[in-house]
Chain A
């Protein structure tokens, strides 16, 4: 583990860190006041790092007795106007869903990190992308969304978490980092720098002691006639704004492409390796990489589908994001899928073969 004094923080200097630790340090840089969590592989480096660094910074670290406790501690800390986060891996995130729904109902900002492992059930500890549905559809009960980032490098693990804190405060909702075991464990050079601060709405709703002012109430229970419906429409307006303003995605050589591969996270890294080699073979192929999984880059993909192209979605699951790709393509072009679930990781060679097959298919 990286120790105090061994790395430079807040400078342009590159440091070698694993994704979990880079994310943790970036959260501290982003002003995370409190971390609550319960251990689970493959994200243990986050609580381990936080357990040492948060007290050094005079901030809060609690190893909770369970994931349920952790997410509700986040709720409590956030209700006081502080920046709070938790992290876990797939089975632990499932346990947190009730709390996440309550956070949405109470319109509280929170940051949740899911370093995905294979499922369902306890599954295994290998990297996986099988929680896409859960993450992008809200996950818990009720009509709500969370902002979801799908980083694909250690640098993006750091960058996405600072943005997650910002957007959580801007929109008063949960922002999630949806990483996987590989991204958490792998080490890459990373530059740890503070995001330029932006003006955010004042937290005048926070529970800070009601002396000399009206009391604030933070809750997710709205029994009055029509009150919840109004809240649901208000949330929906907010979600529409986010879909308009906060989409992040990256494209590569899509303009002349006959095949477009869509992938996120570590799968996108493998895809980019395969696409580069396919280009060397003269195959006209490009890729689109969603960085925000919700809001999804629907417009970008729809635009690419205006011309007839083959869309190949690659995931480390049996096919989840592919449904969003199909919704975006809206029948304008064919969408095919290639996936490896349960901890299986596709190789560059496998994806390259798939691309070659599609080329043959397109010609016949």
Chain B
């Protein structure tokens, strides 16, 4: 937070194929459509399916200077390697959304960090598409931070999804809402 309203730095990480980049782009697109300033920075190394993938998103009420996130306010991790890599970089009093379907350990982090442990893969399978686990996690994040809503993300989704994937819009929108519902039920917010 700054005097001029909110300033939120987020890192989203997982393995290649989990839709990490799409999740970041969707968050950025949603923020832009809500009239916020935003930057999205992908890791663009030799990432391949099965390798690691991460991206940085900054959402702000005012112009963003530096697009590089050193210490995020929020971290969404979809697998264990990402938690190990980025967990220690989370700010104190930060927020961790972790995919408990693929992370079986308790994170050893500062006690001021709030943790939402969500079985994103299982919830997505129940909805009929395991690939939507990223949307479940994003929905949980949006509901917790309350800067943007899962509905807004659903409306922005067609703008970041290639048209050939439009048939997946309904299940992904459901997944966003499912994540939001999970946060509502697990945390008194």
CA distance A14 to B42 in the complex (A): 20
Q: B39 to chain A: which residues have CB within 8 Å?
A: 186-188
Q: A207 to chain B: which residues have CB within 8 Å?
A: none
Asked whether, in the complex, the Cβ of A189 is within 8 Å of the Cβ of B38, the reply is yes
Is the CB of A345 closer than 8 A to any CB of chain B? Answer: yes
Asked whether, in the complex, the Cβ of A125 is within 8 Å of the Cβ of B42, the reply is no
Q: Which bucket holds chain A's interface residue count?
A: 20 to 34
Residue of A3, A187, A274, A347 ringed by the most chain B CB atoms within 10 A:
A187
Is the CB of B84 closer than 8 A to any CB of chain A? Answer: no
Chain A: interface secondary structure? mixed
Q: B51 to chain A: which residues have CB within 8 Å?
A: none
Given the interface pairs A42-B44, A270-B68, A347-B68, the reply to whether A16 lies near B162 with Cβ below 8 Å is no
Asked whether, in the complex, the Cβ of B44 is within 8 Å of the Cβ of A185, the reply is yes
CA distance A107 to B97 in the complex (A): 58
Asked whether, in the complex, the Cβ of B40 is within 8 Å of the Cβ of A16, the reply is yes
Asked whether, in the complex, the Cβ of B25 is within 8 Å of the Cβ of A16, the reply is yes
Asked whether, in the complex, the Cβ of B40 is within 8 Å of the Cβ of A186, the reply is yes
CB of B46 to closest CB in A, whole Å: 8
Is the CB of A229 closer than 8 A to any CB of chain B? Answer: no
Asked whether, in the complex, the Cβ of A185 is within 8 Å of the Cβ of B42, the reply is yes
Is the CB of A1 closer than 8 A to any CB of chain B? Answer: yes
Asked whether, in the complex, the Cβ of A1 is within 8 Å of the Cβ of B65, the reply is no
- Please pick, from B29, B66, B160, the residue contacting A269 in the complex, using a CB distance under 8 A: B66
CA distance A205 to B158 in the complex (A): 48
- Residue on A nearest B36 in the bound complex, by CB: A189
CB of A182 to closest CB in B, whole Å: 7
Count B-side interface residues using an 8 Å CB cutoff: 22
Asked whether, in the complex, the Cβ of A270 is within 8 Å of the Cβ of B66, the reply is yes
Asked whether, in the complex, the Cβ of A188 is within 8 Å of the Cβ of B38, the reply is yes
CA distance A131 to B68 in the complex (A): 22
Contact flags A192-212 to B (C-beta < 8 A → 1, else 0): 000000000000000000000
Asked whether, in the complex, the Cβ of A6 is within 8 Å of the Cβ of B159, the reply is yes
Asked whether, in the complex, the Cβ of B65 is within 8 Å of the Cβ of A276, the reply is yes
CA distance A185 to B39 in the complex (A): 11
- Please pick, from B37, B44, B66, the residue contacting A189 in the complex, using a CB distance under 8 A: B37
Q: A188 to chain B: which residues have CB within 8 Å?
A: 38-40, 67
Given the interface pairs A186-B67, A187-B28, the reply to whether A41 lies near B38 with Cβ below 8 Å is no
Is the CB of A120 closer than 8 A to any CB of chain B? Answer: no
Interface contacts beyond A186-B40, A270-B68: sample of 20 additional A-B pairs, CB < 8 Å, sorted by A: A1-B162, A3-B163, A16-B25, A16-B29, A16-B159, A42-B44, A125-B44, A125-B45, A182-B68, A185-B41, A185-B44, A186-B41, A187-B40, A189-B32, A266-B67, A269-B67, A272-B66, A274-B66, A348-B65, A348-B68
Q: List 16 A-B contacts (CB under 8 A).
A: A3-B163, A42-B44, A125-B45, A182-B67, A186-B67, A187-B25, A188-B67, A269-B65, A269-B66, A272-B66, A273-B65, A273-B66, A347-B70, A348-B66, A348-B70, A349-B70
